Structure 1
Amino acid sequence: MPADAQEIDVDATVWSYNQAMDFLSLEREALALPADERARLARDLLASLESLSDKELEELWRAEASARAKELRSGDVKGIPAEDVYREAEALFR
């Protein structure tokens, strides 16, 4: 356990994560945390990704790219023309 980590005794009847809890429920619970706890959770989650192997990272990026392509093809999301993206990016640096 990291030196700055705190042990928290959580009553399982109040909150627990199990396979029945879906991502949206977990996200809703996390977003309800106070800002300092959300920040600590975000830091710990990001740190957990640093230990992934190159193969695991590549698989995650492939899955993400595939999901985004599927959303574009289905019309669930709309692409932004590159010219618009470049124009907006340039405006940010002026």
Structure 2
Amino acid sequence: MRTEEIIAQAIKLKPSERFDVVEKILHSLDRPNPEIDRIWQEEAEKRLTAYRAGKVKGIPAEDIFGEF
């Protein structure tokens, strides 16, 4: 089945069914990478340690995002 045929069939589905299809397709693209997760965890721990040691200062969320 070609891509165009799959899309044509998917469009015929009810909105909730289309959402389910889209969600499953997107989930299939977002596979966790344990190595990247490990690197980010190490980085987060280094940043927290530096913050707690007073080596870096935090920035208030309002300064970054503005008023909520």
**How would you bin the TM-score normalised by the shorter chain?**
0.3 to 0.5
Tell me which structure has the larger Cα radius of gyration.
2
Larger relative contact order (C-alpha < 8 A, sep ≥ 6)?
2
Give 1 or 2: higher helix fraction. Answer: 2
Give the TM-score taking structure 2 as reference length. Answer: 0.48
